[in-house]
Amino acid sequence: MPDDYLTLGEARSRLGRVREALAEAAVRSGRQPEAVRLLAVSKTFPGAMIRTYLEAGQADFGESYIQEARDKAAGLAANQPAPAWHFIGHLQTNKAKYAAPLFDVIHSLDSLELAEALHRRASALGRTIQVYAQVNVSGEDSKSGMSPAALPAFLEGLAAFPALIPQGLMTMPPYDPDPELSRPHFAALRELRDRCAPHLPGLSMGMSGDFAVAVEEGATIVRVGTALFGPRG
């Protein structure tokens, strides 16, 4: 069986395992499972697998590469139910013209220059885009995102772009196979949200290896790829 083939039964089984773990983590943190949204990270995987997950009941899909996402969206344009597309990679300002008509949610907004470009393109199309401000809470040089200190001024400036609907904050902790080592970074993002943006409840954080810890620390949307699609080549 080729790596890019997935039966409906296996898709439902994988979704069930992830949703069960997500629900258990939500209950441990005193929240309802429905308070956490599952984003299936489908980057590098074919549209056929996305179609199978749509049939299995998954609605939200995350992509990191503009051209790949455009190709998949075109191939799935007539699909019912239709996928909701999220952009989760680093977005260059000069690619805003391609992102604005395609994505329902952008998780990696990290500058007012990018915000202005997205707003201009979305406004021209008569649409709005949900956005998360990406914050580099770990301070890692290799990670994108603004510093925590820059967040208040960024949020103030974002108010000038009504085509962008702020949802909350996003972060990516340093990779470590021990999910507990991600906990301080998730907690730091939650505390930053509570301090600087209590009106924005969203926290986009957690991936396949640490999403349960992220949910325990307040995540409202988790970005899960490997646990659903398998390892990337």
Q: What is the CATH number of the domain that holds 70?
A: 3.20.20.10
Write out the residue range of the structural domain in which residue 14 sits: 8-229
Percent of the chain at pLDDT above 70? Answer: 98
Whether the predicted pLDDT of 2 surpasses 50: no
Look at residue 53 and tell me if it is in a domain.
yes
Q: Residues, the chain, total?
A: 233
Question: Is 45 within the bounds of a domain?
Answer: yes
E strands along the chain, which residues?
A: 37-41, 60-63, 84-87, 105-109, 129-134, 164-170, 202-204, 221-224
Residue 232: predicted pLDDT: 79
Percent of the chain clearing pLDDT 90 (strictly above): 93
Residue 146's H or E segment, with its range, is: none
Distance between CA atoms of residues 156 and 24, nearest Å: 36
Average pLDDT over every residue of 67-86: 95
User: Is 150 part of a structural domain of the chain?
Assistant: yes
Instruction: Report residue 1's pLDDT band, with 50, 70 and 90 as the boundaries.
Output: very low
Asked if the peptide bond before residue 201 counts as cis, ω within 30 degrees of 0, the response is: no
Q: How many domains in the chain?
A: 1
Whole-prediction pTM value? 0.96
Please give the single-letter amino acid code of residue 70.
R
- Give residue 5's pLDDT: 78
Residue 1: inside a domain, yes or no?
Answer: no
Q: Report CA 212 to chain centroid distance, whole Å.
A: 15
> Tokens representing 106?
């952008």
- Residue 186 lies inside a defined structural domain of this protein: yes
| Residue 133 φ then ψ, to 5° | -85, 120
SS3 category, 132: strand
**pLDDT of 221 over the 90 cut:** yes
Let me know if residue 38 belongs to a domain: yes
Q: How confident is the model at residue 4 (pLDDT cuts 50, 70, 90)?
A: low
Q: Are 224 and 41 in contact (CB under 8 A)?
A: yes
**225 is written with which tokens?**
């790829």
Supply φ then ψ for residue 84, to 5 degrees. Answer: -95, 125
pLDDT, tens only, 165-210: 999 999 999 989 999 999 999 999 999 999 999 999 999 999 999 9
**Higher pLDDT pick, 232 / 200:** 200
Instruction: Please report the beta strands in 75-128, taking only residues with DSSP state E, as ranges in sequence order.
Output: 84-87, 105-109
Phi-psi region of 230 (alpha: psi -120 to 50; beta: other; left: phi over 0): left
Question: For residue 41, what pLDDT is reported?
Answer: 98
Mean pLDDT, rounded, of the chain:
95
If you search the block for the tokens 């790596």, which residue do you land on?
3
- Residue 2 belongs to a domain: no
Give a yes or no: residue 169 inside a domain.
Answer: yes
Each residue's pLDDT tens digit, 107-147: 999 999 999 999 999 999 999 999 999 999 988 877 889 99
Tell me the C-alpha distance between 133 and 118, whole Å. Answer: 13
Our CA angle for 155, 102, 105, nearest 5°, is 35
Element (H, E) at 34: none
Q: Are 146 and 133 in contact (CB under 8 A)?
A: yes
